[in-house]
Structure 1
Amino acid sequence: MSNIPKTMKALVAYSKDDYRLELDYPTPQCGPDDIIIKTEACGVCAGDVKCSHGAAMFWGDELQPSWVKAPFIPGHEFFGRVAEVGENVKDYKVGDRIIADQIVPCGECRFCKTGHYWMCQPHNIFGFQNANNGGMAEYVRIPKNAVISRIPDSMPIEQALLIEPYGCSKHAVDRASISNEDIVVISGTGTLGLGMVSYARMKNPKALIALDMIDSRLDKALEFGADYAWNPSKIDVVEEIMKMTEGYGCDVYIEATGHPSSVTQGLSMIRKLGRFVEFSVFSEPTTVDWSIIGDRKELDVLGAHLSPYAYPFVIEHIAKGTLKTDGIVTRMLPIEEWEKAFDLAGGKEGDLKVAIKF
């Protein structure tokens, strides 16, 4: 017999204009193949904020259908302890501390069957559809197909909150195939960018340069392993890269700001035959001269989405300290203060990662 209460506190999105804190929302039911976890904490992602602002990429417009399925509970940066397991679940028991990849793969599509589960065609991600409610609630149902990793009991909440973001950081850096002869530029040093800096440091590039418009973030990038940290509003970063590389340009440019100017900046400073990794989600279209990519530089332009196969590595190296985490989680608030958490997650007061703690 389960000890889980029948109702729970949950933030519920009924429409793009109607997010409500429910104090007596039905607790998820545990099916025979399911796991129910009691949430410890849930980070607030830029995607959660953009969704709450009604962005068309989530709610649809005249060009694209709605991707979200309301009503749903937001949040995909969550983890917790197993509170109940279905009768068919053999590998986990009550009390285990676990986290699941953001995506719940179908296991049946072409991408899942070839091991590319993070590109699953139905693309059901926790926190955007009611079939896979997210972590801004006291309890979450983890379905059979979820990709689960264990978290050490000794890992502090502030570190465990970074498993999901740093998993995305790792995948983006891996896409760049960095060697120890590469001059690497990471543009944007928010939570994800700082995760990229810390992981790219492990690749021992010839030089690692971080770019951001906020000096406090650049200080953190130096602390996390960048060789240089430059503010494009204060120096001509393209000119500095050209000086450093005898006029050739950087070998790798990873775009992690989501701002159009960072894209054009990268195309200007990257060398011929360079590798440009695009990680960000943009709030507006970016216009570039595509002849730079083709006729002038013959670039490899690579996308990066989610965090496939990344969690075990990230958990191990956060625990070891080789992936640095100090000072990234700047605020944890109760679910009752979700509006404040969403507001601060945009960085208006200098926060990096804001989270909801249960």
Structure 2
Amino acid sequence: MKASVYYGKNDIRYEDVAVPEIEDGDILVKMKSCGLCGTDIHKAQHQTVTGPVVLSHEIAAEVVKVGKRVTRFRPGDRVVTAIHVPCFSCHYCDRGHFTLCEQFKPTNIEPGGFAEYIRLPELHVKHLTHKIPQGVSWEKAAMVEPIGCCLHGLKQAAITPGCSVLVMGSGTIGLLSAQLSAMMGASNVIVSDLSPFKLDLALRLGINHAINPAQENLEARIGEITDGLGVDLVVIAAGVSSLLPQAVNLLRRGGRVVVFSPFDQNNMVSIDAARFFRDEISIVGTYSLSSYEMPEAVEIISRNRINIDEMITHRWPLSSLGEAIEFAANPQHDVLKVIMQMDD
């Protein structure tokens, strides 16, 4: 089979690799669409993984073979899946912190999403794999996993009807989080970003306000929009640690910051710590998704509860993965979500 294999920065090879062998509880799927995630771009550009490795996990695929014990799926089924499975019984799982489970990160698909055929291990088949509803395209189905990640994060946010939400960063995760916040009842959703293209797209998606902090004073604009109260929630969807102290300053009393993006570990910032006691604010982190968000994300896609079509801006053949990563990583390009597809 064919796969785009990452060996190092600027060294991604479209080559023949072995088709994975499945066991009795596994299924083998053929990739139809696979999203290019921001983590894929980061890994390839900053060499945070050691090659050779097949990246990605935002998969929509067709079942081609099932193990003897598999009863929920059969060849020809259209499915989506995700990448990590918790144990459901440890200290963290018992308390609902599934992504902190020791089993979570070691579980994986084989070899990765940027391959022609992928083995979904038994745990993934049981807990993470779902059929794609009729009428949902392959490329829209590939957005199920990132939607699930955003749902997982927003569950930390305690969104209530009528609240105000600021999303800092208008990439795929930011614009999904903004749309989902509105879907959950937020009446005033604001995004900030430096990209005019992404800000224009946010407005086309129905976001109430789109602010470029290089051209406007963000704190002043938030004050105008919220009548001086500040926002109920800030979602940080960009890996810029300096956004954290600004997010804290933009919160109303009792507000919450949800940190979605990873920050540079060596970049320390100072925040107004007095606000924790004086104003009862909170800061929470979020990572990945649990098994419970997958069916929710499938339902959102199937009912068109948010606008996915306009978010998918580019499609590339799998053989051109290296070119697609370079294109998506260039801030000069008007690009949001890239979907990789098998070559014709």
Tell me which residue corresponds to 2:214.
Answer: 233
User: Would the aligned equivalents of 2:164 and 2:188 in 1 still touch at CA under 8 Å?
Assistant: yes
SS in 1 for 2:335: coil
Q: Please report the RMSD computed on the Cα atoms of aligned residues, expressed in angstroms.
A: 2.3
Task: Give the drift of 1:205.
Answer: 2.0
Cα distance in 1 for residues equivalent to 2:130 and 2:330: 29
SS in 2 for 1:343: helix
Cα distance in 2 for residues equivalent to 1:73 and 1:310: 25
The superposition leaves residues 294-347 of structure 1 with CA deviations (integer Å, 9 ceiling, x where unpaired) of 345331111121122222222222222211112211111112111111112225
The superposition leaves residues 17-64 of structure 1 with CA deviations (integer Å, 9 ceiling, x where unpaired) of 585425321110011111000010211111112212345xx44xxxxx
Q: Alignment identity in percent? A: 29
Tell me which residue corresponds to 1:354.
Answer: 338
Task: Give the drift of 1:254.
Answer: 0.9
Tell me which residue corresponds to 2:37.
Answer: 45
Deviates more, 1:45-54 or 1:98-107: 98-107
Cα distance in 1 for residues equivalent to 2:157 and 2:88: 27
1:143 aligned to which of 115, 118, 121: 121
Task: Give the drift of 1:355.
Answer: 2.2
Tell me which residue corresponds to 1:329.
Answer: 312
User: Would the aligned equivalents of 1:330 and 1:351 in 2 still touch at CA under 8 Å?
Assistant: yes
CA separation of 1:132/1:124 partners in 2, compared to 1, >3 Å: closer, same or farther? Answer: farther
1:27 aligned to which of 19, 23, 36: 19
Task: Name structure 2 gaps, 5 residues minimum.
Answer: none
1:343 aligned to which of 313, 316, 326: 326
User: Would the aligned equivalents of 1:11 and 1:137 in 2 still touch at CA under 8 Å?
Assistant: yes
Cα distance in 2 for residues equivalent to 1:234 and 1:109: 49
Cα distance in 2 for residues equivalent to 1:19 and 1:113: 42
Tell me which residue corresponds to 1:181.
Answer: 162
User: Would the aligned equivalents of 1:45 and 1:345 in 2 still touch at CA under 8 Å?
Assistant: no
1:73 aligned to which of 37, 54, 58: 54
Q: How does 1:1-358 map to 2 (within 5 A)?
A: 8-14=1-7, 16=8, 19-55=11-47, 58-59=48-49, 71-106=52-87, 109-112=90-93, 116-124=97-105, 132-146=110-124, 147-283=128-264, 285-289=267-271, 291-308=273-290, 309-348=292-331, 349-358=333-342
User: Would the aligned equivalents of 1:11 and 1:335 in 2 still touch at CA under 8 Å?
Assistant: yes
User: Would the aligned equivalents of 2:242 and 2:269 in 1 still touch at CA under 8 Å?
Assistant: no
Q: Which residue identity does 2:72 align to in structure 1?
A: D
User: Would the aligned equivalents of 2:167 and 2:235 in 1 still touch at CA under 8 Å?
Assistant: yes
The superposition leaves residues 225-274 of structure 1 with CA deviations (integer Å, 9 ceiling, x where unpaired) of 32211111111111122233343311111111111232222111112221
Q: How many residues align structurally?
A: 336
Task: Name structure 1 gaps, 5 residues minimum.
Answer: 1-7, 60-67
User: Would the aligned equivalents of 2:33 and 2:139 in 1 still touch at CA under 8 Å?
Assistant: no
If the length of structure 1 is used for normalisation, what is the TM-score?
0.86
SS in 1 for 2:190: strand
CA separation of 1:117/1:327 partners in 2, compared to 1, >3 Å: closer, same or farther? Answer: same
CA separation of 1:111/1:160 partners in 2, compared to 1, >3 Å: closer, same or farther? Answer: same
User: Would the aligned equivalents of 1:201 and 1:225 in 2 still touch at CA under 8 Å?
Assistant: no
Q: Which residue identity does 1:12 align to in structure 2?
A: V
CA separation of 1:295/1:117 partners in 2, compared to 1, >3 Å: closer, same or farther? Answer: closer
Task: Give the drift of 1:223.
Answer: 2.5
Tell me which residue corresponds to 1:5.
Answer: none
Cα distance in 2 for residues equivalent to 1:310 and 1:78: 15
Cα distance in 2 for residues equivalent to 1:17 and 1:223: 35
Q: Which residue identity does 1:351 align to in structure 2?
A: V
User: Would the aligned equivalents of 1:179 and 1:204 in 2 still touch at CA under 8 Å?
Assistant: yes
User: Would the aligned equivalents of 1:197 and 1:224 in 2 still touch at CA under 8 Å?
Assistant: no
Cα distance in 1 for residues equivalent to 2:114 and 2:130: 19
Q: Which residue identity does 1:298 align to in structure 2?
A: E
User: Would the aligned equivalents of 1:187 and 1:257 in 2 still touch at CA under 8 Å?
Assistant: yes
